[in-house]
Amino acid sequence: MTVRTLPVNAGIVTQETGYNCGPATTQNAIWAKTQRVVPESQLARELGTTVNGTDSIAYLDRALGNHLGIDHLTQWVLNDPPTPAQVNDFWGRLVRSVNAGYAVAMNWIAPPNNYPRGVGGSRSPSYGGGTVYHYTLAAGYDDAHRWVFVADSGFQPKTYWITVEQCMSLIAGKGYTYPNLPTGLKVTDVTGFTSAFMSAIGSDAKDVLAQIAGRWPQLGGRTVAEAVAELMKR
């Protein structure tokens, strides 16, 4: 069982205006990785935030990429409810991000019948006033229960746990932004395995593998191993 949470700065987690949840979430994500405070007003300018809020989670991926030095990707979840595969994809990206020290920014739609419900003894946040459109931060995980640790700039308490299923039901209709981390798989890893495998098998199979290991015009002159490694970087 692993429970891992990133740092949350109690002094900055709260958004400075009623419409600054996008800049505040970005600010909290930067702090979680670097313990560096970027003024919320500066981030609001970068995100194009107005009294109507921040138009798109895609603006957060650009800002986070600039401040954290690693590209961020936005995953849209436009269907509601999300599929089990989408839930699992989010969970895998969250765990991988947090393990590397990065949080995941989320855009939520929370109708009154689906306000966030705290689990694991954490208090439910004080959402109210109809459907809430809001940016929040996933800053940790509990893999035994598949719970998500949320830093919430707009409501008390500022941190709480919810299930990954409810978390994704809140993202449905919007999206989330996560760091584009390298996979760690290198072409040499794949080709090295292929060479070792070929030395242990018979000549007929070697002929087949020799063709696979060759350079294919259909793959832009790359080997199968090189093409697979390139795909896994994306």
- Pair (194, 164) in one structural domain: no
- Pair (172, 97) in one structural domain: yes
- Please name which of 200, 137, 216 lies closest in space to residue 170, comparing C-alpha atoms: 137
Distances (CA, A) of 31 to 97, 101, 138, 177, 231: 14, 10, 13, 16, 31
> 3-class SS at 210?
helix
Q: What pLDDT score was predicted for residue 203? A: 53
- Pair (221, 173) in one structural domain: no
Distances (CA, A) of 119 to 4, 66, 142, 189: 16, 34, 11, 42
H helices of the chain, in order, are 21-34, 40-47, 57-68, 84-99, 164-171, 187-199, 203-213, 224-232
Say how far apart CA 108 and CA 98 lie, in whole Å. Answer: 20
What global pTM score does this model have?
Answer: 0.79
Structural domain including 7 reads: 3-179
Residue 204 burial class via C-beta count within 10 angstroms: exposed 0-12, middle 13-18, buried 19 and up: exposed
Using pLDDT thresholds of 50, 70 and 90, give the confidence band for residue 201: low
- Pair (216, 165) in one structural domain: no
**What average pLDDT is seen over the chain?**
88
125: domain CATH number?
Answer: 3.90.70.10
Say how far apart CA 94 and CA 113 lie, in whole Å. Answer: 25
- Pair (203, 135) in one structural domain: no
- Pair (130, 50) in one structural domain: yes
- Pair (208, 104) in one structural domain: no
- Pair (108, 210) in one structural domain: no
- Please name which of 63, 60, 57, 51 lies closest in space to residue 17, comparing C-alpha atoms: 51
Task: Give the β-pairing of 132-142 and 104-110.
Answer: antiparallel
pLDDT tens profile 98-151? 999 999 999 999 999 999 999 999 999 999 999 999 999 999 999 999 999 999
Q: What pLDDT score was predicted for residue 170? A: 98
Using pLDDT thresholds of 50, 70 and 90, give the confidence band for residue 193: very low
- Pair (22, 138) in one structural domain: yes
Q: What pLDDT score was predicted for residue 183? A: 73
Tokens in use for 113? 């019948």
- Pair (136, 26) in one structural domain: yes
- Pair (62, 121) in one structural domain: yes
- Pair (200, 165) in one structural domain: no
- Residue at which a domain ends, from 162, 179, 196: 179
